[in-house]
A and B are shown apart, each in its own frame.
Chain A
Amino acid sequence: MTMTTNTLPGSACATCPMNRHLARLGVSMDSWDYVVALAGNPNTGKSTVFNALTGLRQHTGNWPGKTVARAEGGFEYGEKRYKIVDLPGTYSLLATSADEEIARDFILFGQPDVTVIVVDATRLERNLNLALQVLEITDKAVLALNLMDEARRHRLVVDERRLARDLGVPVVPMSARRGEGVGELLQMVHGVATGEIRPRPHRLASTRDAALDRVLSQLVARVEAAFPGLPNARWVALRLLDDDASIESAIRDGSLGDLSRGLQTAPVAERLALTGVAS
């Protein structure tokens, strides 16, 4: 368990067994306090993390692309009810496959209170590509460094403190299939959801192209002017430069404007309805 920008406030749960606070509710929930999105590359054990959090038994195979439909579940922790949405496993959020669009739109428009990025500790470089893209869109993220048991087997040593410092978000080493680190993950999700932890994520430094950076900052200024308070103006500007049709239509039909007007404070059900999740 690692902390980044804030210290963990003295919560009652730091002392008591984690699992006592984890009331597993399956999918039979009708109201939630927070929404958690689960993102990650295919075959990182994302579904296993989902099962560990919800107590559901979604089949998880050693096969990329197992989760095709979006799975949903819920859990209770620290007297708060969490709805958790397992997004399709994708390598990237840049390209335009249907899966990537589902994942991207959910993180952008669903405004989850926390996005848990599940990465494979044995293939960190590949997995961080997606993590960095998620962190371009949202601040409220936790990195679940999964498959630590496999990393140990391959004698890899992962310095999660340094990674947390570099990424600017909490990093939780875990092995979901053995149940290791689940309590710590819940604690971090809770911390970020309630605002006790405020991550300041790493953002892409520059594109190594001065001309592009100049154009980009010009457009970022325009985006910020049009949508004051938008949490990811730079990312929106990049997508616009990359000719992203769905972002263009979000600007045209005003759904991006809704985000900047603080829809993140709207009730959970309303936000979920926006992204087509039955509540």
Chain B
Amino acid sequence: MSDPAADLLQTARALRAEVGAGLHDQLAEALYTDAAHLADRAVTRPDERPRFDLDRAIDRLVTSRTWGFPIMILLLTVVFWITIQGANVPSSLLATLLLDKVHPALKDGASALGVPWWLSGVLLDGAYLAGAWVVSVMLPPMAIFFPLFTLLEDFGYLPRVAFNLDRLFSRAGAHGKQALSMTMGFGCNAAGVVATRVIDSPRERLIAILTNNFAVCNGRWPTLIMVSTIFIGSAVPAALAGLVSAAAVVSVAVLGVLLTFAVSWFLSRTMLKGQASVFSLELPPYRPPRIWQTLYTSVIDRTLIVLWRAVTMAVPAGVVIWTISNVHVGGESVAEHLVSLLDGFGWLLGLNGVILLAYIVAIPANEIIIPTILMLTVLTARLSGVGQGAGVMFELESGNAIRDILHAGGWTTLTAINLMLFSLIHNPCSTTILTIYHETRSLKWTAVATALPLLLGFAVTFTLATAARLLGWA
């Protein structure tokens, strides 16, 4: 007697030929016929149609030709405005507490206990300060942005955004839902990468992951705002300064959106070429959001998880920054050696060695870029009377003081513009890189996600710097 399993499979194959290819269709039809019949028996609908269908009225409005886009832009602007405005006060309170009060107290305590200078340097000036920076800069905006975003999500508005924008994304070979992960990326790229999970087709999801970095995350906004205020705003008459520097920041963010489309288009025609996956987007019924539960889950799920990841990344970076600034080889600190090593390449890009070193050591979190740049500039330009010592990150209240330091470090308008561009177009922070690996489980795509924007950033800044120099602007 033959093997019953093989026997069965053979019979099945023979019978399949009799049935033909229409079986799946027949099954689907039969299932839906039954489902419709059962549902019809169980559900009684109200006799008269409700006079006013709220869901439909909202949908007509938020997807209307006239109002769809203005409402979308207005809602997102309000979310960002509340985030930026609301975060200011708690951020400076946290900074005062953690940097101005706790840090000196810890230093005093350490010296009272007789802790050697290098140990308190590594732990308090290095590890503690970096962690404290990240907490005070990141926590307030995230604790405001994520709950607001989650409220929009719970209400059911976000799928409508995907619906409104799908055509643009489909032209770029991507999925409309990428609009959501991109928007989330304006808050935090690591959270944006996780948000690509709602895209159910693998190819389009990968495109969304690889391009999320072009959404300017809230760790990069402070860099853009500061550089643009000091260098761009000051280049125009005072009355226009605020407007022009704000416009410069917005242009960088808009450039990021354009790059998202361009790079998505490029990827879908090269590395991720292939048949477009099946599109489907369900617009769920609106549901009144539950505010307290939303606050709770978004603070726990998103804010604290992302913050914790950033802190665990920033603390070792603080140790590295302090160490390279304080370990001396041949009369100069390691940091100074590295800066002069990177200066040549930095010059080619219209940047400098300090900026490149800051982007290398501050890869864990973009939030510490500015304090690191200031500290390294003071260190390498051998300025005295500013800062708090080698390896100690600091920030100055006054824009003029910062400008003086940076001018002393050899900065020009070109440096500032290219720093803003490089802030937009460079490798994702290590938290995001790690998240990309978690989500893709692929070293290859993690490497592409890291290298692609970095190389693009080199190309853009090099081109601009070279053009400016040839034209005699810089």
Contacts and interface: CB of A to CB of B under 8 A. Distances in A.
Assess A/B contact in the complex (Cβ within 8 A).
yes
Interface of A: 42-43, 57, 59-66, 68, 92, 94, 97, 99, 122, 124-126, 128-129, 131-133, 150, 154-160, 162-163, 166-167, 177, 202, 204-209, 211-212, 215, 218-219, 222-223, 225-226, 237-238, 240-243, 248, 251-252, 254, 257
A177 B292 CA distance: 13
B9 A215 contact: no
B44 A61 contact: no
Contacts of B197: 65-66, 68
B26 A159 contact: no
B11 A242 contact: no
Interface string B281-324: 01011110110000011101110000000000000000000000
Nearest to B162: A63
Nearest to A99: B200
Nearest to A51: B297
A259 B339 CA distance: 66
A61 B297 CA distance: 10
Contact of B154 (A62, A97, A167): A62
Contact of B39 (A128, A157, A209): A128
Contacts of A241: 12, 15-16, 19, 23
A182 B30 CA distance: 32
B474 to A, nearest CB: 47
A219 B11 contact: yes
Contacts of B43: 124, 156-159
B41 A207 contact: no
Interface in B58-109: none
Cβ-closest 10 pairs across A and B? A128-B35, A125-B39, A240-B12, A163-B42, A155-B46, A124-B39, A157-B44, A62-B156, A68-B197, A226-B4
B36 to A, nearest CB: 5
Contacts of B271: none
Interface string B2-30: 00111111011001101100011011111
Interface of B: 4-9, 11-12, 15-16, 18-19, 23-24, 26-36, 38-46, 50, 150, 153-156, 158-159, 197-198, 200, 282, 284-287, 289-290, 296-298, 300-302
A250 B290 CA distance: 45
21 contacts: A62-B284, A62-B289, A63-B153, A63-B156, A63-B198, A63-B284, A94-B27, A125-B36, A126-B35, A128-B35, A132-B34, A150-B287, A156-B43, A158-B43, A208-B33, A209-B26, A222-B12, A241-B23, A251-B8, A252-B9, A254-B5
A211 B200 CA distance: 37
Given A62-B154, A124-B39, A238-B27, A57 B296 contact: yes
Given A59-B297, A150-B285, A204-B34, A166 B42 contact: yes
B31 A124 contact: no
Most B Cβ at <10 Å: residue of A131, A209, A238 = A209
Contacts of B28: 92, 94
B38 A163 contact: yes
B12 A219 contact: yes
A130 B300 CA distance: 33
A26 B14 CA distance: 50
Contacts of B156: 62-63
A124 to B, nearest CB: 4
A242 B27 contact: yes
Contacts of A97: 200
Given A59-B298, A254-B5, 12 more contacts: A42-B282, A57-B300, A59-B301, A61-B150, A62-B286, A132-B34, A156-B43, A156-B45, A159-B41, A209-B26, A222-B12, A242-B23
Given A125-B35, A156-B43, A242-B24, A248 B9 contact: yes
Nearest to A161: B42
Contacts of A157: 43-44
Contacts of A207: 26-27, 30
Contacts of A251: 5, 8-9
A212 B11 CA distance: 15
Contacts of A61: 150, 153-154
